[in-house]
A and B are shown apart, each in its own frame.
Chain A
Amino acid sequence: MDGDEPRDGVRETYDRIASHFASTREYPWPEVESFVADSTESGPAARALDLGCGNGRHVELLSAHADEVVGLDVSRGLLDEAVARSAERGFDAGLVQGDASRLPLADDAFDLAVYVATIHHLAPRAARVASLNELARVLDADGRAVVSAWSTAHDTFDREDGFDTTVDWTLPGGETVPRFYHIYAPDEFDADLDASDLAVVESTVSSGNCYAVVAGAEPRGR
């Protein structure tokens, strides 16, 4: 399997399950809500990014705390769900189809970002670290982002080291669709963050997920 196959597979998978997946992803995560509330305590962000925005539930949250919001996802099917959600709920966002490891976004364009439950779909590890470097590039050095990944700390898993696996999504009617995951060990998650250009503010484990609050890289060549 070459390096691009898992990501291509993830795009096809989410295009296929987009509608049902979106219907089960109604509410923002409490950990993300409190991160966004803490980060915007002194005033709204100028521009916020949701990397791997899916059906836009966190785009909706960000739109209440930022002047401008961009949502990026690899799956056009999920972006169409986000368009429908923004029309129904009356929030405004720029939606872009793209690859988390090769962002089509300018340096230091964002002062707030969420990168939630997405990095664990990327392979190989170089692509995951590249996506963290891309987040560091587009996030202002004074900006803040939260990064999360599914972890071995979750009750579902009986292992201590990180590993690659597939987790089936079951469509109504019983058909299953496999999704690629890299399940992170917490210390491995921290190691990938340390290997990246991001500055780690804090790193925690909550509800079986690794979470890190990070800051962007200092601008280069200026």
Chain B
Amino acid sequence: MKESLMDILCDPLDKSELELEVDERDGDEILEGRLIGTVTGEVYPIEDGIPNLLPPDMRD
């Protein structure tokens, strides 16, 4: 995902802001990392460039 996508992503649970933590990037493309709910504390992984923002009850 591009870092600019952060402008419109939010926590699916309460629509609050997310904080980005990057493990691996390629230019402005974030390949691995996580998005963390600033209110819920929920951790949403970014794997191979795609953020998984499924609510926790729908994740494996």
- Asked if A pairs with B, the answer is yes
Q: In the complex, which residues 1-54 of chain B have their Cβ closer than 8 Å to any Cβ of chain A?
A: 1-2, 5, 7-13, 15, 44, 49-54
The answer to whether A94 touches B54 (Cβ under 8 A) is: no
Query: Which of these, B5, B12, B44, B57, contacts A103 with CB under 8 Å?
Result: B12
The answer to whether A97 touches B51 (Cβ under 8 A) is: yes
A66 sits at the interface (CB 8 A): no
Across the two chains, which residue of chain A brings its CB closest to B1?
Answer: A94
Q: In the complex, which residues 143-168 of chain A have their Cβ closer than 8 Å to any Cβ of chain B?
A: none
The answer to whether B10 touches A97 (Cβ under 8 A) is: no
Query: Which of these, A7, A11, A109, contacts B8 with CB under 8 Å?
Result: A109
Across the two chains, which residue of chain B brings its CB closest to A97?
Answer: B52
Interface range for A: 20 to 34
The answer to whether A96 touches B12 (Cβ under 8 A) is: no
The answer to whether A11 touches B58 (Cβ under 8 A) is: yes
The answer to whether A96 touches B51 (Cβ under 8 A) is: yes
Measured in the bound complex, the distance between the Cα atoms of B50 and A62 in whole Å is 19
Report A211 CB to chain B, min CB distance, Å: 26
The answer to whether A105 touches B52 (Cβ under 8 A) is: no
Measured in the bound complex, the distance between the Cα atoms of B52 and A94 in whole Å is 12
Interface range for B: 20 to 34
Query: What residues of A have a CB within 8 angstroms of the CB of B50 in the complex?
Result: 76, 79, 83, 95-97
Q: In the complex, which residues 85-120 of chain A have their Cβ closer than 8 Å to any Cβ of chain B?
A: 94-99, 102-107, 109
Measured in the bound complex, the distance between the Cα atoms of B7 and A8 in whole Å is 28
Chain A positions 58 through 87: 1 when the CB is less than 8 Å from some CB of chain B, otherwise 0: 000000000000100010100100010000
The answer to whether B12 touches A102 (Cβ under 8 A) is: yes
Query: What residues of B have a CB within 8 angstroms of the CB of A109 in the complex?
Result: 7-8
The answer to whether A102 touches B13 (Cβ under 8 A) is: yes
Question: Which of B2, B8, B15, B54 neighbours the largest number of chain A CB atoms within 10 Å of its CB?
Answer: B8
Measured in the bound complex, the distance between the Cα atoms of B5 and A106 in whole Å is 11
Report A1 CB to chain B, min CB distance, Å: 15
Query: What residues of B have a CB within 8 angstroms of the CB of A70 in the complex?
Result: 5, 8
Measured in the bound complex, the distance between the Cα atoms of B54 and A99 in whole Å is 6
The answer to whether B2 touches A98 (Cβ under 8 A) is: no
Measured in the bound complex, the distance between the Cα atoms of B47 and A83 in whole Å is 13
Report 5 cross-chain contacts, Cβ distance below 8 Å, ordered by A residue. A8-B58, A97-B54, A99-B55, A106-B9, A106-B10
A-B pairs with lowest CB-CB distance, top 7: A104-B53, A104-B12, A109-B8, A102-B12, A98-B53, A94-B5, A97-B52
Task: Name A's B-contacting residues (CB within 8 A).
Answer: 4, 7-8, 11, 47, 70, 74, 76, 79, 83, 94-99, 102-107, 109
